[in-house]
Amino acid sequence: MSDKNRTSSSNPGHAPSWYAASANDKRVRPSLAGETQADVCVIGAGFTGISAALQLAENGFSVVVLEGERIGFGASGRNGGQIVNGYSRDLEVIARRYGPEKAAKLGEMSLEGGQIIRERVAKYGIDCGLVDGGFFAAFTDKQIREMAEVRANWQKHGHTGLEMVSKSDVGRYVKTDRYAGGMIDRLGGHIHPLNLVLGEAAAAESLDARIFENSRVTALAMGANPVVHTAAGSVRAKYVLVCGNAYLGSLLPRITERMMPVSSQVMATEPLDAKLIEDLLPANYCVEDANYVLDYYRRTADNRLLYGGGIGYGGQDPANLTGVIRPNMLKTFPQLAGAKIEYAWSGNFALTLTRIPHVGKLADNVYFSHGDSGHGVTTTHLLGKILGEAVSGHASRFDVWASLPALPFPGGKTFRVPFTVLGAWWYGLRDRLGV
């Protein structure tokens, strides 16, 4: 079933998520009609595009954002809401691949995404249920050893918020006997992601940015002043930022051949008895496990359990979302066998071959960033800000990211999905065997 068919009736144009139903702001912005101009035209109103738009609006640029559907329609309005610091590959892997100098530079930036979120929530009074603290759960001794290595490596980059948790202390964070131990991140946390991006969008609008919804970009004419076209209008700008991520479609093949849409599924229970949910997650930390295809879950402000997992390479949406996720939830919390599932939805993130975001330029005045590869709540905030900095003439951080190689997926359009499924099967098998 397509997203369009699954649209939320209480908040049209969004996936039928708990987020869409509980959004603070359900206003529909106008769609673009006719010709207009701006310093910067941003394509896509997810975290990346809105983070860039807000950074630019704060610095006095005139900004137009064109969103094909609704603000936060993509991954940004549907995700697990987990503030995970760092990148989808550990800094040690980054050092081995790209050298210690680049790893040090990326390390310096690795906590900034979470800081940007917290600063904006405070500065603009964004009501998005921000809660501090995350728990990484390990099933095996091998995963515990790997977490300890990550912690030691992060400490070299100044991150002192990580603490190992022994099996006997797991119950302080999550009441389940599935885990062998884990690690907490005091600088992690969770948010209602749709309310965060809506709050940031409203902040950008308060600084005169213009956001058009239901305004899908159909063509981009490059040139000294590029022109961005929708079905009913166009924007002539000095700069264009492409932030369409997994939903970009075939607009710009040079970008899309270097990413693969991957779906992940999420569901939310009915509101649970306060005592029960406090017992399951006593510290109100969000949890993600260390498996290759991982489960992630957390409490919501209205005492639901929001549980995610599952994966669909190529962005396929399983027909029975609850059937995919509920059995995993019950393995973790068998005591929820009688809990009603009130919402289930799916969303696509963009995977790159290296699992490192792909950042660069299509022309001197057309920049892009995509491919946060599943851990994007913080990275998109960082990279959106960095796109804004680059337009303002401060490109040193942009240049670091743009220097990292981005390779097309092997197998082209036809075979990239089966090749990746094969790789994931192998890593999943290793998790199941505990090796």
Ligand X SMILES: Cc1cc2nc3c(=O)[nH]c(=O)nc-3n(C[C@H](O)[C@H](O)[C@H](O)COP(=O)(O)OP(=O)(O)OC[C@H]3O[C@@H](n4cnc5c(N)ncnc54)[C@H](O)[C@@H]3O)c2cc1C
Contact footprint for ligand X (CB under 6 A): 43-49, 66-69, 73-76, 78-82, 84, 216-217, 243-248, 251, 264, 266, 296, 308, 347-349, 370, 372, 374-377, 380
Question: CB 101 → ligand X: shortest distance, Å?
Answer: 26
SS3 content of the chain, % helix, strand, coil (to 5): 35, 25, 40
Residue 100 or 190 having the CB closest to ligand X: 190
Question: CB 213 → ligand X: shortest distance, Å?
Answer: 9
Question: CB 44 → ligand X: shortest distance, Å?
Answer: 3
Residue 45 or 268 having the CB closest to ligand X: 45
Instruction: List, in sequence order, every residue forming a beta bridge with 65; answer none if it has no partner.
Output: 42, 211
Residue 35 or 169 having the CB closest to ligand X: 35
Question: CB 215 → ligand X: shortest distance, Å?
Answer: 6
Question: CB 50 → ligand X: shortest distance, Å?
Answer: 7
Q: Phi and psi for 242 in degrees, rounded to 5? A: -95, 115
Residue 323 or 334 having the CB closest to ligand X: 323
Structure tokens at 425: 């099967």
Residue 80 or 107 having the CB closest to ligand X: 80
Question: CB 141 → ligand X: shortest distance, Å?
Answer: 26
Question: CB 227 → ligand X: shortest distance, Å?
Answer: 14
Distance CA 348, CA 265 (A): 9
Distance CA 321, CA 157 (A): 39
CA distances from 397 to 72, 105, 330, 356, 385 (A): 26, 8, 44, 15, 10
| Listed residue (137, 25, 42, 48) closest to 377, CA to CA | 48
Residue 169 or 230 having the CB closest to ligand X: 230
Residue 33 or 274 having the CB closest to ligand X: 33
Chain residue at closest Cβ approach to ligand X: 376
Structure tokens at 6: 């699954």
Question: CB 88 → ligand X: shortest distance, Å?
Answer: 9
Residue 31 or 140 having the CB closest to ligand X: 31
- Whether the CB-CB separation of 309 and 82 falls below 8 Å is answered with no
- Whether the CB-CB separation of 332 and 170 falls below 8 Å is answered with no
Structure tokens at 75: 């991954």
Distance CA 255, CA 400 (A): 18
Residue 47 or 173 having the CB closest to ligand X: 47
Question: CB 166 → ligand X: shortest distance, Å?
Answer: 25
Residue 107 or 114 having the CB closest to ligand X: 114
- The DSSP call for residue 161 is -
CA end-to-end span of the chain: 37
Question: CB 262 → ligand X: shortest distance, Å?
Answer: 8
| Listed residue (67, 61, 72, 59) closest to 42, CA to CA | 67
Strands (E), 202-292: 210-212, 217-221, 227-230, 233-242, 260-269, 286-289
Structure tokens at 434: 């505990």
| Listed residue (92, 75, 205, 202) closest to 154, CA to CA | 92
